[in-house]
Structure 1
Amino acid sequence: MHEKEVAVVTKHGRMPTFMVRPEGAGPYPVVILYMDAPGIREELRDMARRIAARGYYCALPDLYYRIGTVRFDLPRRDERMSAVVGACLRSLDNAGVNEDTAGLLAYLDGEAEAKADKVGAVGFCMSGRYVVSLAAYFGERFASAASLYGVGLKTEDDGSPHKLIGEVKGELYFGFAETDTATPPETIAAVKEAIKACGGKHKTEIHANSGHGYCFTAGRAYQPQAAEATWAKMFKLWERTLK
């Protein structure tokens, strides 16, 4: 595998981004991995490597770059750390993530090893909402996106993801946990209704016996059956839409 850390130039500064791809000239189809609220850590880099091992050029941007270098020692997480995680989460919005992604796409357009005319994406937790916003904002550039136990999928503002689903040109996959206070049943129902209203081309799935964070092997909520089923769905999605 070929790995590198780069500083992507954006409208707001230089965004550290982990890039990983197979050895060889490529070009390889691009998947952007958007972090969850605890931010950049080795577990996310390992997920990026897993994606790259299947023949993709994977980019993992540090969305917290505006507020500095933010790293959490998650095994020591307590209420005070959770409060800081929440503050970092609230520093982001649709417009900012869209602008950061525009800079990232411009960088990828200059990479000979990347086939970035159409890209795929996956967003966990807080970024589950952003991949929907991105897919709507960039239109056909985002061929597909997976939103996994996303928070904030239904809000009262105009940028609520459930209101943007009808604008998405690519294909969306929503993976939900069976028990998740961050994504209650009424939110899932709103997403399903929005999908139905636009023709039903997007898919939702509720994974049995799972809770919020079920994909992260280092987390207390890790559920291997749900995690592997989700990975299988994502790889099929990217195989279908990017290759």
Structure 2
Amino acid sequence: MDQDDKNSLANINRREFVLKTVVATGYALAVTPVAFSVISTDSEGIEVSDIQIPVGKSKIPGYFAMPKGNGPFPVLLICHEIFGVHEHIKDLCRRFAKLGFYAIAPNLFFRQGDVTKIKEIPDIISKVVSKVTNKQVNMDLDATVKFAKLNKKTDISKLNVTGFCWGGKTTWLYAAHNPNIKSAIAWYGPLVGNPGDKMEFPVNIAATLKVPVLGLYGGKDARITQEHVDQMQNALDKGKSGSKIIVYPEAEHGFFADYRPSYNKMAADEGIREMLNWIKNH
């Protein structure tokens, strides 16, 4: 390798370092450094803002994005992963706003702690996530719907919800809680609990579900197994919600998370197409 090649390689390495540093800004510590597949969406043509959502006598933070113009725009609630409302969730709000949605993501962990500053995933789960109740989450999402309704540019009659991992489980459960939701899309959310679990899981509400939920799952998910998917599908078949589950055989858990090594572009792109069709058809 001559000196010019060495200089070129050094420049490439410096650019990669700068890129890593820039795109990591705003991401949860537990998932940095982010993968080079990360998607960054600008705010051209849309309105974006950090927000405070009233819940009773208190407020929880969140983030929203919507198209510029008069609307009215359909509403899309976004339920975050265990990493909270970090940059990936904000980016999703911007992406969906560019597709015509009023997209809003409340921080559903706010009362228990700031997960974006915790370095280890087991600590996130034990110190924060395990302390969050279904009742609290449903209350906060109800307040978020009320907040969205106050915006004159929203069409709350076209209310949809989506979520990822922990937020995927939340999506199933909130769809059972709020019958006014038109459609829901759950990305690889846990379906079945462990013996002795006190918290409710999607399989428990599947048979009585009224809202149509689309579940998007990975065939190589080591945590949410095909057995779990089959249990959930069997429970759904006992009801009349019209919900269904799609499994992408080569995808792992977190296949939509473009900032992580688990990202599977083919499954993610197909999942988005299925999601938009699901919303359109309902």
Q: Report the TM-score when normalising by structure 1.
A: 0.90
Partner of 1:108: 148
In 2: Cα distance, 1:225 partner to 1:69 partner: 32
Larger radius of gyration: 2
Q: Contact (CA 8 Å) 2:219, 2:225: kept in 1 or not?
A: no
Partner of 1:13: 58
Specify the SS of the correspondent of 2:116: coil
Q: Contact (CA 8 Å) 1:34, 1:127: kept in 2 or not?
A: yes
Query: Structure 1 223/112 Cα, relative in aligned 2: closer, same or farther at 3 Å?
Result: same
Partner of 2:111: 66
Partner of 2:256: 215
Higher strand proportion: 1
Q: Contact (CA 8 Å) 1:11, 1:99: kept in 2 or not?
A: no
Q: Percent identity?
A: 21
Amino acid at match of 2:182: A
Q: Contact (CA 8 Å) 1:143, 1:169: kept in 2 or not?
A: no
1:183 aligns with 2:194: no
Partner of 1:125: 165
Q: Contact (CA 8 Å) 2:210, 2:241: kept in 1 or not?
A: no
- Could you list the per-position Cα deviations for residues 54-88 of structure 1 after superposition, in whole angstroms to 9, with x for gaps in the alignment? 11100011111102443148xxx5xxx11222122
Of the candidates 58, 62, 86, which is equivalent to residue 41 of structure 1? 86
Partner of 1:154: 192
In 2: Cα distance, 1:12 partner to 1:82 partner: 31
Structure 1 gap ranges (5+): none
In 2: Cα distance, 1:96 partner to 1:116 partner: 22
Cα RMSD over matched residues?
A: 1.7
Query: Structure 1 159/12 Cα, relative in aligned 2: closer, same or farther at 3 Å?
Result: farther
Query: Structure 1 83/133 Cα, relative in aligned 2: closer, same or farther at 3 Å?
Result: same
In 1: Cα distance, 2:70 partner to 2:265 partner: 34
Amino acid at match of 1:135: A
Of the candidates 258, 268, 271, which is equivalent to residue 227 of structure 1? 268
- Could you list the per-position Cα deviations for residues 134-172 of structure 1 after superposition, in whole angstroms to 9, with x for gaps in the alignment? 111111x11111111112x11255732112123322211
Question: Alignment length, in residue pairs?
Answer: 233
Q: Runs ≥4 in structure 1, deviation > 6 angstroms?
A: none
Structure 2 gap ranges (5+): 1-45
Q: Report the TM-score when normalising by structure 2.
A: 0.78
